[in-house]
Amino acid sequence: MEALLKERDKMRRRFQADKDSLMLQLEEERRNTETEIERFDKRQIITEGCWRKHCKVLEKMTKEANDLKETVDQLKQKARTIDPEMTRLHLRHSKARAARSTEVIVVLLKKRVQIKRPLELEQANGILDAVPRNTSNRRRKNSELIKSKEREVHSTEVTNASVKERKEMKKGQHEEKAKNVLKLEQEKNNMEKEKEINQERIDLCAL
């Protein structure tokens, strides 16, 4: 009987020791689990913050990409329309100036012919040699001759000035055309460069 009691006490002590050991292990595991949960919560908060920040960045990049695409489309449309439009306006302006210059020259040439014709008729018929030697008539004829010469000189000067002006206009038109072509080429190059930069940004945003 005594042996059985000793065996029972021994089993109780062993059971209690095992129980205490298990309780310690469970407590340690509980603390470890709480620590791990706390770490997980912290990582989750950091991850959610990073994700929200990343979403905002992605949203901003998406908006920027859409804006860049719209800008590229506008530049393409501008490149398709700017050259023909400016060329038509320049040609229309040049033709109008050339037409006005031609009209002025034609009018001046007609006036020159009208002024020169009476003098040529007088010289051909020998009117100046056949006129009486009357002093008043000679003075009148000389005065008319001088006026005709003056009108002819004036008409020649005006015509020469008009021709010179037309040459200068053509030269100015040529220089203006070359300047416009150069300007258009520069704008085209700038648009191509801006298009490449925008495309690079779009490609970066798409990554």
Would you say residue 24 lies in a domain? Answer: yes
Would you say residue 3 lies in a domain? Answer: no
Inter-residue contact 98 to 159 (CB < 8 Å):
no
Would you say residue 193 lies in a domain? Answer: yes
DSSP state of 126: T
Q: What end-to-end distance do the CA atoms of the chain give, in Å? A: 84
> What is the residue range of 91's domain?
10-206
Per-residue pLDDT reduced to its tens digit, 39-94 = 888 888 887 777 777 777 767 767 776 777 777 677 667 666 655 655 666 666 66
Would you say residue 5 lies in a domain? Answer: no
User: Left, alpha or beta for 37 (phi > 0: left; psi -120 to 50: alpha)?
Assistant: alpha
Residue 72: give its domain's CATH number. Answer: 1.10.287
Per-residue pLDDT reduced to its tens digit, 166-179 = 677 777 767 777 77
DSSP state of 131: S
Distance, in Å, from the CA atom of 106 to the CA atom of 112, rounded to the nearest integer, reads 10
Would you say residue 4 lies in a domain? Answer: no
Would you say residue 1 lies in a domain? Answer: no
pTM: 0.31
The number of distinct structural domains making up the chain is: 1
Per-residue pLDDT reduced to its tens digit, 90-134 = 666 666 666 666 666 666 666 666 665 665 555 555 544 544 445
Would you say residue 165 lies in a domain? Answer: yes
Average pLDDT over residues 153-171: 69
